Structures are given as C-alpha cells and as structure tokens.
Amino acid sequence: MGYFDAASAAPLHPVARQALLASLDEGWADPARLYREGRRARMLLDAAREAAAEAVGCRPDELTFTSSGTLAVHSGMAGALAGRRRTGRHLIVSAVEHSSVLHAADVHRADGGEVTEVAVDRTGAVDPAGYAAALRPDTALACLQSANHEVGTEQPVAEVAAHCRAAGVPLLVDAAQSLGWGPVPEGWSLLAASAHKWGGPPGVGLLAVRKGVRFAPRGPADERESGRAAGFENIPAIVAAAASLRAVRAEAAQEAARLRELTDRIRERVPRLVADVEVVGDPVRRLPGTVTFSCLYVDGETVLHELDRAGFSVSSGSSCTSSTLTPSHVLKAMGVLSEGNVRVSLPPGTPEEDVERFLAELPPVVARVREQLGAPGAVGSAPVGGGDDALVVDALGRRCPIPVIELAKVIGDVPVGGTVRVLSDDEAARLDIPAWCEMRGQEYVGEEPADRGSAHVVRRLS
Amino acid sequence: MGYFDAASAAPLHPVARQALLASLDEGWADPARLYREGRRARMLLDAAREAAAEAVGCRPDELTFTSSGTLAVHSGMAGALAGRRRTGRHLIVSAVEHSSVLHAADVHRADGGEVTEVAVDRTGAVDPAGYAAALRPDTALACLQSANHEVGTEQPVAEVAAHCRAAGVPLLVDAAQSLGWGPVPEGWSLLAASAHKWGGPPGVGLLAVRKGVRFAPRGPADERESGRAAGFENIPAIVAAAASLRAVRAEAAQEAARLRELTDRIRERVPRLVADVEVVGDPVRRLPGTVTFSCLYVDGETVLHELDRAGFSVSSGSSCTSSTLTPSHVLKAMGVLSEGNVRVSLPPGTPEEDVERFLAELPPVVARVREQLGAPGAVGSAPVGGGDDALVVDALGRRCPIPVIELAKVIGDVPVGGTVRVLSDDEAARLDIPAWCEMRGQEYVGEEPADRGSAHVVRRLS
C-alpha cells in the first residue's frame, strides 16, 4: 500500500522498535533514584541524551526530552520569551510555521505581547530581509522552521540566523520536518523536533537550548529535564527515539537522493497527467520526500477519500477536509490554489513501484471527482442576472471548489474585457479565485463587500 | 531482588508489554487523519478511552490522555481554576499533596491567586471539617489526593467531596497512588492519574473532567484530546495503559489482601526488630502495599545505600538524601520523625520471601549505620559549656541525624527537670528533635532564635 503521509507521522523504524523493546525492561524506573533500577534508567537516559545531542549538534546538557514536538515548541517559546522579558515582548514568526508555533504566538499576543508575522513568497520561503526588517530593539525571540511541513520548502535558516545574531536576538528553529535528514545549519539558539516524524516512537520531542540563551522555564516547577519538561521521563521511548535518529541519519544521504528522484517524478508528471494542476513549493530547496500540488475543480475531502480507496494515504491543506472550513494557513500565506490540495510525503524506504502506481491512479481519481462535481465541460450552469458587463454567479452557501467551478462554467459567456462577479461566503474562494485567474490568464480585479459574503470580480482577458 | 518502590514507578505489567507491542504496528499514525492508518489509530485510541473510562468510572468523553500524571494534574488544575475565575481565585489543597499539585498551587499563588493548605493529623490524613472550614464563596477549586504517596494514608475523599458539592466547588482528586487498586469514591469533579504507577508504560496520564465542570484549557490551543493535552497522541502507550489498568484491576482485590498482610508484617515487626523506630501513616486506612517508618540516629542516604547493597530498592523522605536538604513536606506536615526514613511500597506480585529477607536484612543495616554515625552507646561526646541547667550542644553545621544523636548522647548528663539547648541550623532538626522527645518521653520546650540557626530547648523528664 502507499502510506504517503510521513510529514504527519512515520511508521516506527525497525531500530526504534528494537531499542524500545530492549529498554522496556531496563528503563521503567525513576532515573532520579539512587538504587540499581534507578541507576540503570539514568544510564539509558544519559546515553540517549548523548546520542541525540550528537545528532542535533549540541552539548548533552543543552538537550532536554519533552513528551512531544508540540510541547518542545511550547516550552521553548515560553521559556525564551520569559527569559528575555526585560528586553521586550516582541516575537517574530514566519507566516507558515507549524500550528504549535502560531498557537504559542497567539497566547503571547493574548498575554500582551506583540507578534510580527514575516510573509513568504509563492514558494513558501521567507526572505531573510523580511526577518532583518522585523527585528527591533524589543524583540525577545524569532522563530523559523527549518522546512515547511505542508509544501516541503526549506527556509534560509543560516541567513536568518545571521541577522538574528547581529541583532542579539535568539532564534528558535522548529526542525520537526528536517532533523531526520541532517543537522540544522549553524546559528540556531533553540531547536525543537519530534521523534515520530523520523520513525521514532510517539511521545518524544527534543528541545535544545544553547548555553548562554536566557531561558526561564514556565509552568509549575519540576526538577526533571532541567525544569523544561515536567513529568516522569519516558525512557524506553527516549532510547528508541535517539537510536532511530542515529539510524535514519546513517541512511539519510542515500535515501534523500532516491526520494528526491521520486518526488521529482511526481512534480514533473502530475501536471502532464492531470489538467489544471498547480504544483506548489520550491522545486529545488525542499525536503527530499515531500511534494504538494492542488487540482482545480476538485474538493480535498473527496480526493483524499478516493485516493484512500485506491490504497494511498495522503493529506490535504484544502478547506472542506474533515472538520476545517478554511484552507491551510500555509497555502493562504503563499497565495496559491488551495482546492484539491494533495500533499505527498514519502517515508524513507518507499518503493518506486508505489509512486508509479500513484501516478497511474491519480488521473482517473481526479477525473471522477471532477465529473461528480460537474466541473467545466460536464453540466451546464444557470448564471444569475446581468447584462454583458455585469454577469453574476451566486455561489453563496456553496463550499470549495464549487465557487471556482461555477466561475469556470460562465467565463465563456463573458465578453473579452468584460467582468463577472462571483458571490461567495466561502473562505477558500478568497484564495482560489485569484489562483484560478492566475492559472487561466484572467484578471482578478478584486473583492468587494456584498450583502452576504463577498463579490469576487474577475475580468476576462482572453 | 527486592524492588520496593512501586509508589515511584512499577515495572511494566506483562499485559502492558503485550498491548504496547501489538499496537506499535497499528497505532503509529495520526488518529485525526481519515485514511486507513489514521482510522486504525483512531479505533485503538477510542477503544482505550472506553476501557480506561470504565475503570475510572466516567464517560469516555470525560476522559483525556495526557503525557504524564504530572501534566494531568497541571492541566486539570489550570483548566479548572481558569474556568471558574469569575467565581474567584481561591484554591484549597491539602498539605500532603504530591509536588505536582503543590507546584501548580505555587504558580497560582505567584499569579495572584490565594491558596489554603489544609493541615493533616499525625497519620497524614486530612479532617473533612478542615476542608469545610476552608471553603469560601470565592473558592474556585479544591484538590485532594486519594491516598498519600509517601505514607500510604487514604484520604476521606467522599466526605470532602460532600462538603465541596454542598458549596458548589469542584474537587480534583489526584488518584495516582490508588487507581490501580479500585475506582475513586464518588463525588470527584476532576481526576488525575498516572499509568506507570499501576504497571502501565511511562508517558501516559489520565485527566477526567466531569460534564458540567467549568473548564477552560490553558496554554496554546491544540485540537487533540479536547484541547486538554497538547501534542501528538502516544497511542501504543495509551493502549498499553488502558489494557494494564484493566488487568491490574482484575487482580486487585486478591492482591491487595496479600500485600496488606505483608505490609502488616513490616508494620508490626520492624519496631520489634529495630530499636527507636516510628512507623508512620494510618495503620488501617491505607494503601495495601505501602508502609513507611523512620529510624532514630540514622541518615536516609546511607540507609538507602546499604539497603541497595543488600538488594532492596526503597525510597526515603529524609533530608540528607541525594540533593534535598529538607525533609519531605509530607513528614513535616505530619510532624513525625524524618530521620532514617524508609518507604517500602511493594509492587503487585512481590513474593513473601522478599519481605522476609528484608525483615532479616534491615536490623543489621540500621545497626551498621548507627555504629558509623556514633549513635548513643557508641562514642562519647564533648558537650560545650554550661551549668546544670544550661547545657548546650553545638551541632551547628552538622546535618541530620547528627543533632539528634548529639542530643541523645548528653541527655543522661542533664538532671531530671533540667534543660539542654541544641544549637542547629539543620532544617530537619526542627522536626526530628520534637519527634525524638515524643519517642523518648522528654519535653520539647520550644525553639529559640540563636546567633546562628536555632536553639532547640529540651527538658529531661525522666
């Protein structure tokens, strides 16, 4: 089968499984105790910390284990912000950080702090100059992911780190997506990661804090893990996390080259196999196993469901998937098409045949979904009202991708140079109608207020 | 060997091990995803929640899994306090709660909240009337453990719950020590527990919040586990926790009776086998596997070390163990002897022979330690200064149990009715000198300020 969602969670690496089993019998006791079972547990914990620190590129006493990558981010941001409270309460994040970073930023804002979100370009990358411009005398902390979790784009960490260093501001790097592939470029002050992303067990995050970084642990006091992660240490999982990080690193260079070739195939062939597709993310500076594309006239939920039936597990940043009604904040920040969004993230070891089979199955799946939705070419539409220059499509109450489909159906009725207004109260339309215009070579004039929702004005150019 | 520290952590139950292994391959994916691996993970998580909820005695949707018992307590207290902030900011805890509760109370106090600590009697139990008296119109939350982690005393949860219910105040019960033995008595509003205390794996805590209890999750938003426990769910460990809770419960009644008989032996025989011992904690209302005693003229660190050499792993609430310089807050609140403190907490399945061997090894261990320390009867002392009525023992700079040993050495030189002043700057002396007086039938007159430390005044009565 094709499990293509390694960016969410990777299956347990065989080394992780083996290390977990071996340490279940040796690592269950309290490592703070001085009796033999406690000493054994402490030895396992110390050895795991050394191994993980070596992989991260820090000293063992700079590294603490948390119970998840999310908690590593929360603890790291809160501690660094509190440690530099005297300097100020300004925080910088990129617009495409993981939700754990953005939600911690929300808490900081609600608590009276100030947050600057640095924009990204259409590939999802920040401009280092954007960080340089955002840095202020009262900036307490800057955060930047090593690579984006939804589109795979690598961020210019070293360049941003240089700007931060020059300003004396610590940089927290969320390395969740990249740590299995190699160390983060020099220059970070705090680093967070999550073991289950590289094939380690769930229940283990890493938080590294460089010596010299001001850090004031938050929350109730706890003597474990330098006060940065409260609660009893999960030593068997920690041992498994460290062992598997070392193992995936040993295979990383070779496996990265292989996966990169496979994702290059997807990047190149999907737009040839499926009409009206936008591949998003940087084509070169990107994670080896991740590729993301969006398909016009397709809804995310149905395409995920159909791919699942065909044996492929992928995720989507579209709105109208499961419980979310807004497109992913990443796609939004990039300003790219969000409808029919598919993220493929290959776990190490993915066989070439699985990718080939995916490339064979995808086109009929998309065709079926488009047919079901009455995408352009299928069924006629009944546009409401208007003279030549005032065609109106009423898509109120209809969710993504229907507003775009309705627009595409009527564009042929609009005289070249004339406009059409799409009435929509769907959040995704704000992203997808401009993206459609860009893909179709039409002009997105803008958004106007309407009695309900908004009117998106499009001018036919060709 | 004798691992007698189940109150810290229990070895993994065979059922936990089996369930963990089985679910490593099925439960690694993200349960929020709709593809097959995600659905499988979700099914495991749902089934574990149902099993755990049944054991706790609540509805599955009232139960969330956290990554430790400590985080369950932190999240539960913070959420309940925030949820009732409009009512007021008064918090009630007992003086003998686990440090996770007391540290969360410290945070609340530092944040401008008010905290009342309800005292305990010499057995370590609270008086329900103490909670009734502490309840106020602005009380947001009350916390009480089901049983004490250091001395095993069960708390009158049902009675305290009745008082809280009458006042409309939610009661959070820390059930970490007792949940493996049976459900908590009715009446709790929030309940916290920790899987590694009952033989589940590390990395899993439980937080149950009754429907209708006002609860406002704190910290950065996270959609997992009802917003009460941020971070990716550790499903294999959760499955193992739920399965082992069910398994230990099935064996609980029989095993409790067996362990109770073994700990009764220790309670009865240690004072006969070793002179100058105080067994602490309630003799009847107590956890089946826990018994705690303190030995005069013995330091905790050395006795732990000697017992470890003899093959027994126990813990101690004495000061002068590892890094702590103050006696445990529990022994302090109870007002009992803290020196030479030994907690024995038997894991289920402890063989009778191990307990018998412990009873055989303990007396020579204590005798050796007393000999090393020059306890009364061994070496002569050189009391400083003083007439008949003004004998002074200078124990400044000496740590527990030396001040008590020095006192015991000179008491014979004090005329009946006369006093001796022990100069000490050791925190434990404040607890142990009065305890010694009580055990020896002498009068503790009180503590007076001195140039350095304090003078503890003792009157010889016999």
- Does residue B163 register a pLDDT over 90? yes
At residue A219, what are phi and psi to the nearest 5 degrees?
80, 180
CATH number of the domain enclosing A288: 3.90.1150.10
A226 part of a folded domain: no
Mean per-residue pLDDT, A93-107: 97
CATH number of the domain enclosing B97: 3.40.640.10
Tokens 């809160």 correspond to A78
Q: Are residues B196 and B66 in the same domain?
A: yes
Q: What pTM value is reported for the model? A: 0.92
Considering only residues A378 and A101, tell me which one the structure prediction assigns the higher pLDDT.
A101
Predicted local confidence at residue B324, as pLDDT: 63
Please report which confidence band the pLDDT of residue A385 belongs to, taking 50, 70 and 90 as the band edges. Answer: very low
Nearest CA distance, B269 vs chain A (angstrom):
24
Predicted local confidence at residue A237, as pLDDT: 96
**Which is it for strands A190-194 and A171-174: parallel, antiparallel or unpaired?**
parallel
Which among B32, B68, B222 has CB closest to A232? Answer: B68
Interface subset of A 56-85, CB within 8 angstroms of B: 67-71, 74
Note every long-range contact of B381-386, with CB atoms under 8 Å and residues 24 or more positions apart, other chains counting: B381/B406, B381/B409, B381/B410, B383/B409, B383/B410, B383/B413
A196 has a chain B CB within 8 A of its CB? yes
C-alpha distances in Å from residue A250, one per residue of A181, A256, A392, B249: 9, 11, 59, 44
Percent of chain A with pLDDT over 90: 83
What is the spatial distance between Cα A313 and Cα A2, in angstroms, rounded to a whole number? 6
Q: Say how many C-beta atoms besides its own lie within 10 A of residue B72's C-beta.
A: 31
Nearest Cα to B453, choosing from B431, B428, B430, B423? Answer: B423
Nearest Cα to B88, choosing from B114, B70, B69, B54? Answer: B114
What is the spatial distance between Cα B85 and Cα B81, in angstroms, rounded to a whole number? 6
Q: Are residues A290 and A189 in the same domain?
A: no
Nearest Cα to B195, choosing from A455, A209, A293, A237? Answer: A237
Predicted local confidence at residue B384, as pLDDT: 45
Q: Are residues B448 and B368 in the same domain?
A: no
Q: Are residues A297 and A444 in the same domain?
A: no
Domain extent, residue B237, equals 9-218+231-248
What is the spatial distance between Cα B234 and Cα B103, in angstroms, rounded to a whole number? 26
pLDDT digits (tens, 9 = 90+) for B398-436: 888 999 999 999 999 999 999 999 999 988 899 999 999
Residue A420: beta bridge partners? A391, A458
Among residues A372, A403, A435, the one where a domain terminates is A372
Q: Which of B33, B322, B328 is the mutation pick for testing A, counting most A CBs within 10 A?
A: B33
Please report which confidence band the pLDDT of residue B325 belongs to, taking 50, 70 and 90 as the band edges. Answer: low
Q: Are residues B27 and B137 in the same domain?
A: yes
Per the prediction, chain B carries an average pLDDT of 93
- Does residue B321 register a pLDDT over 70? no
Contact B178, B290 (CB under 8 A): no
Give B195's contacts (C-beta < 8 A, 6+ positions apart). Answer: B16, B69, B201, B202, B203, B204, B205, B206, B237, B240, B241, B244, B245
Q: Are residues A104 and A182 in the same domain?
A: yes
User: How many CA atoms lie less than 13 Å away from A4 in the CB half-sphere?
Assistant: 35
A413 part of a folded domain: yes
Percent of chain A with pLDDT over 70: 95
> Are A8 and B30 a contacting pair at CB < 8 A?
yes
For chains A and B, count residue pairs whose Cβ atoms are closer than 8 Å: 191
Active-site annotation holds for B320: yes
What is the spatial distance between Cα A181 and Cα A175, in angstroms, rounded to a whole number? 10
Predicted local confidence at residue B212, as pLDDT: 96
> Are B230 and A68 a contacting pair at CB < 8 A?
yes
Cα–Cα–Cα angle for B373, B376, B381, nearest 5°?
A: 80
Q: Which of B58, B164, B320, B400 is catalytic?
A: B320
A93 part of a folded domain: yes
Which among A36, A106, A307 has CB closest to B220? Answer: A106
> Are A220 and B11 a contacting pair at CB < 8 A?
no
B103 has a chain A CB within 8 A of its CB? yes
Which among A29, A103, A313 has CB closest to B222? Answer: A103
Q: Are residues A166 and A68 in the same domain?
A: yes
Which among B5, B74, B232 has CB closest to A33? Answer: B5
Contact A207, A63 (CB under 8 A): yes
- Does residue B382 register a pLDDT over 50? no
Q: Are residues A122 and A155 in the same domain?
A: yes
Nearest Cα to B219, choosing from B112, B74, B30? Answer: B74
pLDDT digits (tens, 9 = 90+) for B77-104: 999 999 999 999 999 999 999 999 999 9
A382 part of a folded domain: no
Mean per-residue pLDDT, A54-70: 96
Q: Are residues A83 and A213 in the same domain?
A: yes
Nearest Cα to B100, choosing from B69, B146, B79? Answer: B69
B367 part of a folded domain: yes
What is the largest distance, in Å, between two alpha-carbon atoms of chain A? Answer: 87
A230 has a chain B CB within 8 A of its CB? yes
| Amino acid letter, B453 | G
Q: Are residues B149 and B45 in the same domain?
A: yes
A191 part of a folded domain: yes
Structural domain total, chain B = 3
Contact A146, A198 (CB under 8 A): no
What is the spatial distance between Cα B183 and Cα B146, in angstroms, rounded to a whole number? 10
What is the spatial distance between Cα A88 and Cα A82, in angstroms, rounded to a whole number? 10
Q: Are residues B342 and B413 in the same domain?
A: no
Predicted local confidence at residue B318, as pLDDT: 80
pLDDT digits (tens, 9 = 90+) for A155-196: 999 999 999 999 999 999 999 999 999 999 999 999 999 999
Would you list the DSSP string of B148-215? -TTT-BBP-HHHHHHHHHHHT--EEEE-TTTGGGSPPPTT-SEEEEEGGGTT--TT-EEEEE-TTS--
Nearest Cα to A274, choosing from A412, A151, A415, A375? Answer: A375
Which secondary-structure segment (H or E) carries B443?
Answer: strand B443-449
> Are B104 and A230 a contacting pair at CB < 8 A?
no
B144 part of a folded domain: yes
Burial class (CB in 10 A: 0-12, 13-18, 19+), B43: middle
Q: Where do runs of H (alpha helix) occur along A135-234?
A: 157-167
Tokens 């042929």 correspond to A412
> Which of chain B's residues have a Cβ under 8 Å away from the Cβ of A28?
9-12, 196, 201-202
Burial class (CB in 10 A: 0-12, 13-18, 19+), A257: exposed
Catalytic positions of A, written as ranges:
320
Predicted local confidence at residue B386, as pLDDT: 45
pLDDT digits (tens, 9 = 90+) for B56-72: 999 999 999 999 999 99
CATH number of the domain enclosing B413: 3.30.110.40
Predicted local confidence at residue B150, as pLDDT: 95
Tokens of B263: 């700990």
At residue A387, what are phi and psi to the nearest 5 degrees?
-80, -170
B225 part of a folded domain: no
Which three-class secondary structure string do you get for A40-65? Answer: HHHHHHHHHHHHHHHHHCCCHHHEEE
What is the spatial distance between Cα B30 and Cα B46, in angstroms, rounded to a whole number? 13
Q: Are residues B318 and B363 in the same domain?
A: yes
